[in-house]
Chains A and B, each alone.
Chain A
Amino acid sequence: MSKPCLLLVDDEERILRSLAMLFRAHYDVVATTDGVEALKVVRSRPVHVVVSDQRMPAITGVDLLRQIRDHSPRTMRILLTGYADLAAVEASVNDGEIFRFLEKPWDALKLQDAVAQAADIAHAEFAEPIRVAPPPEAIVAARVLVLDEDPSTAMLVRGLLPPSCAITIATTVEAALARLGEAEHAVILAELKHGSDDVIGALKLLKQANPHTLAIACSSLRDGRLLIDLINQGQVFRFLPKPLGRELLRRALTAALDRHAQLAHDPQRARRHAVEAPREVSLPSRVMDYFRRIRENARQKAAS
C-alpha cells in the first residue's frame, strides 16, 4: 500500500515546513501556500487528506475546503486555525462539512491521530467505485426527531417536510433518547440550550452509538468553543442560529435527509462521520441504557 497523500495549505511557510517534517515519514506530503495551487493538486491526483489554515491572503480555509469538496468529495478535510472566530466555525460546519476543526498551536499526537483516521477513511473510499445517488423514495419516508421545548420549531419543521416524513417531538433529552431507541431516525434537530439537560453530551454519544443519524443543532447561544466540540466529537451536520429562518432550515433538512439516504445506501460513507471520543459526558444510567439500545438497533440494521 502506497503512502496516503496529505495536502498542507498555509500562508506561513514555516508552518508548512514544520508540518511536513511531522508527517513525511508516513505520508506523501504536498505543501503549498497558494489556494489555487491546492485546487490544482486535488484535481490532478488523489488526495486523501487536506489540512488547511483558515486565514489566508487570497482565500479563507473554509472556502478552499468547500471547493476541494466539490472537486474531490472523497478527500477528508481538516481545518487548522490560529483563531477560531465564530463565523469561521459556523461556516466550517455548514459550508465546509469538515472532519475536524483543530487549533494552533496544535497537539502533535492529536493532529497525527486525526490525520491518520481521516487517511484510513479516505483510503477505503478511494478504493471503491463511486456509488450512484440513492433513490429519492428513501428520503420521503424518513423520520425526523425534533428536540426543543419551543413547540414552534416542530411546527416549522412539519410545514417544511412532505407529509410522508414522520416527525417525532421530544421536549427532554431523556424522551428524545427513548424515542430514538424505539425507531431509527434519519435526522435529529436539537436546540442546544435545554434547561439542565446535557443536549450536547447526548448528541456526542448519539453520534458514537449511531453514526447514521445526522444532527442539526440550533441555538440562540453562539459559542465557537462549543461548536468546535460539536464538530470534533459530535460531527454535527449543520448549525443554525435561532431564531430559525425557514429557508435555511429547509435547506439543512433537505441536505441532511439526502445525506442520510446516501449513508443508508452506501454504509461505508458513515465512517466519514466518525467522532473523537468525547471528553466527559455525565449521564444517568437509565439514559446510558437508551444508548445501548440505539447502538444495538444500528448494528442490527447494518448487519441486515
Chain B
Amino acid sequence: MNASMSSLPPVALAPAPPGDLAALIAPVPPLTPACTVQQAGERFLEPAVAGLLSLPIVERGRVLGCVTRHELMMRVYMQPYGRELHARRPVTALMNAAPLVIAVDSAIEAAGQLIGARIQSPITEDFVVTDAAGDYVGMGVVLDVLRALEARVGEHTRELESAYRRLKASQNQLIQSEKLASLGQLVAGLAHEINTPLGYVQNNVEMVRNHLPAAAETLAAYAGVLDAAGGDDATAAQSAQRLDDALAAFDPALCGDLASLLDDTLHGVHQIADLVASLKDYSRIDQARSENVDLHGLIESALRIGGHLLRRRDVQVRRQFGEIAPVTCAPAQINQVLLNLIGNAAQAIEHDRGIIAIRTQASGGYAMIAVQDNGKGIPPDVLPRIFEPFFTTKPVGQGTGLGLSICQQIVQAHGGRIAATSTPGVGTRFVVALPVAGRSGARA
C-alpha cells in the first residue's frame, strides 16, 4: 500500500486555480479500517500528504470517517503513554465518523457554504469528496477552497467593476447622443422657424421686385399724360393709350397689396433676427459656466426656441417673474432644462385652453423656477418614475424618456434640485431650484 502510494501525485498545495471543486481534489489513497493508529501516523508523515489535515478511512468505496492530524497529535503523540496505549489499535477508534463530505460536482461557492457552516477555529479537518453514487473520490483541502473562493470573489469584483465602467460609459454615450438628438430637434425646429418667414420674405421681395418696372411705367405714363395736356390731340391720344396699357399691367390698387406684402416681409425679417439672437444664447454651449446669468433671459430664449412646441396647440404662456439675482450656471444646460420642461408641458396639454405658467422667485440663496401646465397630469403611481432614464409614457419613437433624467443630472450638477407635483386631470408643476452662487458657492 505504501509503495503504490508514493507514485501518486502530491496533494495540490499551490494556490488552487479558480474553477469547480473537481479541480481542487487530491485523489489521496485512503486508509482502510484495518489500518492501525501507528500506520495512520506514518501516512501523515509522507510528503505527498503534507498539506492534508485529515485522511479518509474507506472500505469498498464507502467513506467510514476521517482521522485528523490534530486528533493523532492530541490523543496519541502528546499524551503520556499515548503511543503505547493507541499505536496498535485500529485507526477507526480515533476517527470522526461524520466528516464533512461534499459531492464532486459541487460548485466552489456551494462547497464554501458547507465548509463555512462547519468550520471551527482552528481548522483541524479537510473534507472528503465523493461521486454521485457516494463513493470516495479524493480529499479536498479547506484552505484551497477558501483561496479559490477568494480568487473568484476577486474576479467577480473585477467583472462588476468593468460592468460598472461599461455602464457608466454607455450612459455617458447616451447623454451625449441625447444631446445630439436634442441638437437635431433644435436644428429641425429652428430650420422650420426660420424657413417659414424666409419663404414669404423671399417670395414677397421677388414679387415686389417684379412689379416695380410695371409700376414705374405707370408713373411715367401718368407723367406723359400731364405733359401731353397742353399738346396736340395725337400726342394726347398716344399718351392716354400708353397709360391704358400701363394700367392694364399695373393697377395702382396693387400698391396696397404690395405695401402689406412689405409689412409682412419686415415682420418676417424681425422674426428671423430674433431667432438668430436666441440661437446665439443657445450656442454658448462650450462656454461651460458663467457668472451673472440672467435666468429670465434664459427663459425667454427657451420660449423662443421652443416656440413651435407651444404654437402646436396655441398654448398661452404666463410669466410671473419675481426678483432674482443673476445666477452662476451653464446657460446652455439650463436652457436645455427649460426647453425640456416646456416641451413636456406642451405635450401634456391635449385641449385648446392650454396655459403654461412660468414663475420665478428667490428663496434662501436659491433661484426658483416653476413651470406649471394645465395638461393631463401624472398619475400618482407614475410620478415617482418620471426622472428615471428611459421612462416614458409616450408612444414608441416619440419620447426617449431621457428628457427629465437629463434635466435632473444638469440641475444636480449645478448643486440644485428639481421636483414635480401633479394632479391628474388638472396639471403638473416642475420646480427647479438653483443655488445663486453656483455649485457649493465655488467657481466651477
A residues near B, CB below 8 A?
Answer: 11-12, 14-15, 17-19, 21-22, 53, 55, 57, 80-83, 85, 103-106, 108
Contacts and interface: CB of A to CB of B under 8 A. Distances in A.
Given A14-B268, A105-B198, A82 B203 contact: no
Given A55-B308, A57-B311, A108 B191 contact: no
B318 interface: no
Interface in B13-49: none
A103 B199 CA distance: 9
Contacts of A21: 204, 207, 257, 261
A55 B201 CA distance: 19
The 8 closest A-B pairs by CB, nearest first: A104-B199, A82-B195, A18-B200, A82-B192, A83-B191, A83-B192, A104-B195, A14-B264
Interface in B158-205: 188-189, 191-204
13 contacts: A14-B197, A15-B200, A18-B261, A18-B264, A53-B196, A57-B313, A81-B192, A83-B188, A83-B189, A83-B191, A104-B198, A108-B203, A108-B207
A57 B199 contact: no
B267 interface: yes
B199 A15 contact: yes
Most buried by A among B192, B206, B312: B192
Nearest to B190: A83
B124 interface: no
Given A15-B200, A105-B199, A82 B191 contact: yes
A81 B196 CA distance: 8
B131 interface: no
B351 to A, nearest CB: 12
Given A18-B200, A82-B196, 9 more contacts: A12-B196, A14-B264, A22-B207, A57-B314, A82-B191, A82-B192, A82-B199, A105-B202, A108-B207
Nearest to A85: B188
Contacts of B188: 83, 85
Nearest to B268: A14
B260 interface: yes
Contacts, number: 70
B261 A17 contact: yes
Contacts of A106: 199, 202-203
A106 B204 CA distance: 11
A18 B199 contact: yes
A8 to B, nearest CB: 12
Interface string B290-318: 00000000000000000010011110000
Most buried by A among B198, B199, B261, B314: B199
B213 to A, nearest CB: 16
A104 B196 CA distance: 6
A228 to B, nearest CB: 14
Most buried by B among A53, A81, A83, A108: A83
B178 to A, nearest CB: 18
A89 B120 CA distance: 75
A105 B203 contact: yes
B192 to A, nearest CB: 4
B205 to A, nearest CB: 10
Interface string B256-267: 010011001001
A104 B202 CA distance: 10
Interface string B308-339: 10011110000000000000000000000000
A178 to B, nearest CB: 41
A11 B311 CA distance: 9
Nearest to A15: B200
A258 B207 CA distance: 44
Contacts of A53: 196
A12 B194 CA distance: 12
A15 B204 contact: no
A38 to B, nearest CB: 17
B273 to A, nearest CB: 16
A103 B195 contact: yes
Given A12-B200, A22-B207, A83-B191, A57 B312 contact: yes
Most buried by A among B189, B264, B268: B264
Nearest to B210: A108
B375 to A, nearest CB: 16
Contacts of A11: 311
Contacts of A17: 200, 260-261, 264
A81 B188 CA distance: 11
A82 B196 CA distance: 6
Contacts of B261: 17-18, 21
A105 B308 CA distance: 18
B203 A22 contact: yes
Contacts of A12: 196-197, 200
A18 B198 CA distance: 11
A234 B188 CA distance: 26
A12 B264 CA distance: 11
A162 B65 CA distance: 78
A55 to B, nearest CB: 6
Nearest to B195: A82
A233 B85 CA distance: 110
A74 B311 CA distance: 32
Contacts of B194: 82
Nearest to B199: A104
Contact of A18 (B189, B191, B204, B311): B204
B249 to A, nearest CB: 11
Contacts of A85: 188
B31 to A, nearest CB: 68
Nearest to B193: A82
A16 to B, nearest CB: 9
Contacts of B201: 105
